[in-house]
Amino acid sequence: MCPTRRVSLLVASALLASCALDPPPDDARGTSPAGSYLESVSLALSSISCTETTATGYTSGNAFAIKVVTVDGKKVEKATANAYYVMAQAAAAQGVTLKVVSGFRTMAEQQYLYNCYVNCNCNNCNLAAYPGYSNHQSGHALDLNTSSAGVLSWLNAHGASYGFSRTVPSESWHWEWWGGGPGGGPCGGAQYPKISIQVKTYPPTGQAENFATEGSSSATMDLWAGQEFVTEVIIKNDPSGAATSTTDSAIAWVWFESPYLEPVSYHIYTDYPKFDLATWQLSIADGYAQNPSKTSPPANGKYYIEQFAPGEGKKIRFVTRATGYSIGKVDHPDVRAWIQHVAGYYGEQTSWGDAVETNHAGTTLRAFKEHDVFARDRWDFDGPDAADTEGWGAAHAVSQLAVVPADDQLKIQLDGADPHIANTRARVDASAKKALEITLKSDGAPRLSQVFFITSADGAWSEAKSAQLIAPGGGAMQVLHVDFADNPAWAGTVTGLRFDPATSGTDAIRVDRIRAVASGATSGDGDGDGYLAAPGPDCDDADGAVHPGAAEVCNATDDDCDGSTDEGVANACGGCGAVAEEVCNAVDDDCDGATDEGVSNACGGCGPLPKELCNGLDDDCDGETDEGCAACVPEDEVCNGVDDDCDGATDEGCPTCDPVSDPTCVPCIVAPERCNGVDDDCDGETDEDEDAPLGADCVASSGACAAPGRWACGPAGAFVCAADDPAEVNGEVCNGLDDDCDGKTDELFACATCLPGARGSCALDWVPVGCTVGSHSCGGDGTWGACQPRPECVAGPGPGVADGDPDADVGGADAANSDAFAGDADTVTGVAGRSEGCAGGGPGGLEAAALLLGLSLVWRRRRRAGRRGLRPA
């Protein structure tokens, strides 16, 4: 094509012959009412040069490089010149001649016209835009010869078909071209636009675009559920392409795969006039009312993006949210964008898979971007690849860790002691989710499992940040829980999890999923005390108060599961509560090692103290003997277990030998045997009497009062026949009556006050020199004789001796017996000699009975002594 074309009637044939214009189509050749084709062209274009020069254009005050050619001697932006040429050709064919009066303006030219307008001293004071802001400077505006006949009416009728529009109402000559029209032109203009489309995404600040490099996610953009990121749909018209229609907006669709991705907001930008895909400003399309809401766009939306100049780029910039965990749920959720319509060039494609009816692009104008959305606190192991472990890795004693896609399960192949897997990509809000839910199955017996965690505040694994659970065996899938609600370290953000499925093993465990949940009682902890049943340490999983570390209480239960019951809390008796009070029962009631302490009586026994008896013993255990008894009456000490002589010693002087086995043994002092529990006659027997053997049958009385009885101990140690039935016979008492119906009154011993033959101390009613007491003897009637001084005493006037009768017998042999049966008052230790009831009795019967009794006693002693081989002294 020749660099310069000058078309006129004079040189038309030369231009055609040389190179100036492309020949007209065959059907246009020949004549027409307006003349030949060449004539019409010559009228339309008096002058055009396709020689390009580069100038500085301006839009909105911004400078940019612009390519211009020459039309009618005026500089015109190249694409605008091509569009004008096609329009002028069409107008000439209809007999209308178009001329360019003003085209592209330099900054100096615009400044001149603006000054003319401001100062109104040139250019007819025509309106002019501020320098840098005129569309003449951007190359899109032309001032045409609308004052010529037919020009304005033709432009009003046909200009839009060629992409030209009148933009200043007061200026009929001002027309602008922003793309559109049929395309073509003499200066190498393209017939169609060259549109391309792409989808780009940008990860959140500081986050790698592909942080999950395992398995099927290795080549996609990775996001966490809940994150927001930027998605851009970029549409570009190549600089070599034609502009799009100015009256028919291009349309694009954008689709977000729900429920995994959703648009939050958007804006539409253009890189006009620099066309560099870097210098962006809001497009006028951003304000189109027919576009979706800026702050709540739909998941599938239609966007009007206005016309495109050659080289212009536009982008729809979305803030996008990753809303749903997608691994294994969908094959990489994506954002899709496609061109629905570019007038005369491409369309109509109303959905992703629609067929395109008009397509001058040579390809389908659509694009997409894939993503993977991971959950920070949920792992379902549903990925399509064995390596889709979602951040979990084998940490120790695990020979294989892989997803089984057919089962949607994670397989953990154990290989020794302390096997565990870990995930340090976890991000769990500990305040909202306080438990883990693990769905798994394992063969064999129940296992003790454990879960550890680390946090943003403490990144070290430790027992303090862990919890145990029981994984049931049996091969069935089980939903288990681990509760961390009571662990103070479970706080802030949990940044890592470690799962120990068993303490050891070589088999495989299948995990269906692991999730953080709001709450859940720990599996194997039926009572919720934080300790697990067997094989865990809780010895009673039905009682929350029983677990290791619990305080041992006294309840016959092993509260702290240490194998012992009530240790340290049972009382001294091994029971619970206060020990029993000590009571007097010969038992250590309070388990202090002592019996009846503090409760036994003074004698060490129970109950009331015994009464004090006159027996030389401390019967009531008060430290005193025979208190309350009459004073001891001294007698000769005899071998009878009694302190006869009142000297504090018993049986002193008695031999320690046995007279029966030792003939040389000197027997004890023999006293008459009495029925008193003492061996009085030193024969080795106690209370024996041949005539009255204790317990033998006897007749308790005689005559009318006779009754069967048994020999027993009577008053003053006498052997008496006690009636079997006391009601049948009364015993004789000293009362002047025949109580026992034997025809006698107050017979032998009834009124006795002592044992015949006995001796004792007595108080003298006169005191010899050197004596304070005397002695007396018991007569045969059971009464004491007169008190006589002892032989060692100095003689003095004895009783019955008047005025120192020298014939008085002091301490002689007769003194002891002279008054043995007298009835006078005896003064021995204050005891009355005879009771008043017997005072009047004559001496005949009583004295005879006493005599018989005395003889009987002497005979019995001698007979016993003979049996022993002894002789009376």
Q: What is the pLDDT of residues 742-780, one digit of tens each?
A: 667 666 544 656 666 666 667 666 555 556 667 777 776
Q: What's the pLDDT band for 126 if we cut at 50, 70, 90? A: confident
Cα distances (angstroms) measured from residue 665 to each of 225, 659, 680, 860: 122, 5, 17, 21
Fold held by 378-517: Jelly Rolls (2.60.120)
* Count of residues in the chain: 873
| CATH code of the region 195-374 | 2.60.40.740
Q: How far is CA 683 from CA 336, 546, 670, 855, 864, in A?
A: 137, 77, 9, 20, 8
DSSP, residue by residue, 742-796: SS-SS-TTTT-SS-TT-EEEEE-SS--BT-SEEEEEB-TTS-B---B--TTSBP-
Contacts of 120 (CB under 8 A, 6+ apart): none
Residue 432 has pLDDT above 60, yes or no: yes
Q: How many CB atoms lie within 10 A of CB 257?
A: 22
pLDDT at 872 over 60: no
Q: Would the pLDDT of 653 be above 80?
A: no
- Is the pLDDT confidence value at 609 over 70? yes
Q: Are 73 and 45 in contact (CB under 8 A)?
A: no
**Residue 43: phi, psi to the nearest 5?**
-70, -35
- CATH assignment of 4-177, given 3.90.1150.10, 3.30.230.70, 3.30.1380.10, 3.10.105.10? 3.30.1380.10
Over residues 801-827, the mean pLDDT reads 37
Under the banding of pLDDT at 50, 70 and 90, the label for residue 74 is: very high
Least confident of 14-18, 787-791, 848-852: 14-18
DSSP code for 704: G
**Structural tokens at position 51:** 């020689």
The pLDDT, as a whole number, for residue 782 is 67
β-pairing, 221-224 vs 366-374, is parallel
pLDDT in tens, 280-299: 999 999 999 999 999 999 99
**Reduced to 3 states, what is the DSSP secondary structure of residue 802?**
coil
Runs of H (alpha helix) within 53-141: 78-93, 107-119, 135-138
Question: With bands split at pLDDT 50, 70 and 90, how would you rate the model's confidence at 542?
Answer: confident
pLDDT tens per residue, range 397-413: 999 999 999 999 999 99
How far apart are the C-alpha atoms of 295 and 265, rounded to whole Å?
4
Report percent pLDDT > 90 for the chain: 42
Q: What is the mean pLDDT of residues 65-72?
A: 91
Smallest CA-to-CA distance from 620 within 639, 638, 607 is with 607
Cβ atoms of residues 696 and 722 within 8 Å:
no
Tokens of 477: 């899938």
Which sequence spans correspond to the domains of the chain? 4-177, 195-374, 378-517, 599-629
Residue 437 CB partners (closer than 8 Å, separation 6+):
479, 480, 481, 513, 514, 515, 516, 517, 520
Residue 128 has pLDDT above 80, yes or no: yes
End-to-end CA distance of the chain: 192
Q: Which of 344-358, 628-642, 658-672, 835-849 has the highest mean pLDDT?
A: 344-358
Residues near 813 by beta carbon (within 8 Å), at least 6 away in sequence: none
Report the alpha-carbon distance of residue 324 to residue 258 in Å, rounded: 8
Stated pTM of the model: 0.51
> Residue 54 and residue 77: Cα distance in Å, rounded?
10
Q: Do residues 522 and 529 touch, judged by C-beta distance below 8 A?
A: no
Token look-up 């008492």 returns 733
Residue of higher predicted confidence among 532 and 429: 429
158 confidence band (pLDDT: 50, 70, 90): very high
In this predicted structure, what is the pLDDT of residue 153? 95
For residue 851, pLDDT over 50 is answered with no
Reported confidence tier of residue 740, pLDDT bands at 50, 70, 90: low
Residue 209, pLDDT score: 93
Are the C-beta atoms of 311 and 300 separated by less than 8 Å? no
582: confidence class by pLDDT, cuts 50, 70, 90? confident
Write out the DSSP string of 323-351: -S--TTTSSS-EEEEEEEEETTTEE---S
Token pair in block for residue 246: 């100015």
The region of weakest confidence among 194-198, 695-699, 784-788, 796-800 is: 796-800
User: Among 137-146, 673-682, 690-699, which is the least confidently predicted range?
Assistant: 673-682
CA–CA distance, 154 with 205 (Å, rounded to integer): 57
Query: In which element (H, E) is residue 264 found?
Result: strand 261-270
Between CA 522 and CA 471 the distance in angstroms is: 11
Q: What local confidence, expressed as pLDDT, does residue 244 receive?
A: 84
Widest distance between CA atoms in the chain: 223
